[in-house]
Structure 1
Amino acid sequence: MTDDSRQARWENRTEALLAVASLLFLTSYAVQVLASDLPRAWRTVCVVVLFAAWAVFAVDYAVRWRLSGQGPRFVRRHLLDTLVLVLPLLRPLRVVHIYEAVQRRHGRPRLALHARVVTYSGLSALLLGFAASLAVYQHERGAPGATIRTFGDAVWWASATLATVGYGDETPVTPMGRLIAVGLMLCGLALLGAVTGSFSSWLLQVFTREDDKRPPGR
């Protein structure tokens, strides 16, 4: 049996587990941040779930690296998985990746390439925005001179940052909050570039088809 087939079998078997781990990670993190009066026992449960989800990602990453037989090249060829393992903020994005894999494995009708880019970019923006709102709210609330004092403020800030608008009425003041802001800016630029490029490509295809349908000499 080749390494590719072994890796494919492993990925098929772990799709559901990784999806559950991604959702549990986001849910437990949200509960821990938003429920400020959470009893100590439940807060401990949330921390355990967070580390357990990370352990699932780490084991899956290590196994797929071993089965791929690619050595260090695996890191470059699976950049999203590497970032998901290192940066907790990106772990909810596994949901989008796994959804695509499930659709492909079951042979369900898939959207056109341009529609998939827009759809998955939108889902990624929602997940990233929610996760970033939680993270920046956790670090900014109660900080001296902070302008992001409620979760609603954090959602507004994340939306403006992802959209590359940057009103500046609410900005992070803590080092960790600013680091999150830099990451969110880069993700916003990448998502905006993907959607803009896909839309431009679609327009070019439409204009090309219209030109092909015109009678010769006109």
Structure 2
Amino acid sequence: MEPSAEKTVKAIRALNPHRLLIIGGTEHNSPSALQHIKLYEDEAILYTFHCYAPFEFTHQQGVLQTAPLYYNRKMEYPSDDIDRYRDYLHLLGKEDPYGQMQRMDIEYLRQYLAPAKKFLQQHPDKALWCGEFGTIRHCNITYRENRMRDMITILKEWGIAYSVWNYLSTPNDGNRFSLVDDDNRQILSEKMGRIIRGEIG
């Protein structure tokens, strides 16, 4: 991927030296991939990562990926039932998933997002943006709010800009993450709106 990214940056810069470019890493822009991306001496480049961890929560009972569809369980967040989370990774053949963790909560998210914090510490002159995070729409709204609050708490604490996935999915989207009603475009939860704006921590 890296040679392609470098060629792309050079080609764009030859035509437009000031256009804002966004560069992310492999594995769906995972935080851990930030350590491997090439950095540029270019103030108009923004580095990004996404966060859908824990996947079995954010994509619960989703129909576009085989594992969540097959696992087919409603998930809570936060949760003391860590075995419910472990079972999903056992399904994928992973041994000792979540290690010594006893609970799924904000501390797991801090651990998962730690590479983003490290990136900022190592490269304070670079702009970092969490370009996507969210939870599938049919998840219980309270649990969606809980994870959204924890994500934004961490991002604000570390000074990372963010955008949420997503405003509105098309009706035929199998994995709908919409935050608003299909018809009236009103947010599904006023509390969610306040959380996204950073008013509730």
TM-score, reference length from structure 1: 0.30
User: Which of the pair has more CA radius of gyration?
Assistant: 1
Q: Which has the higher helix share?
A: 1
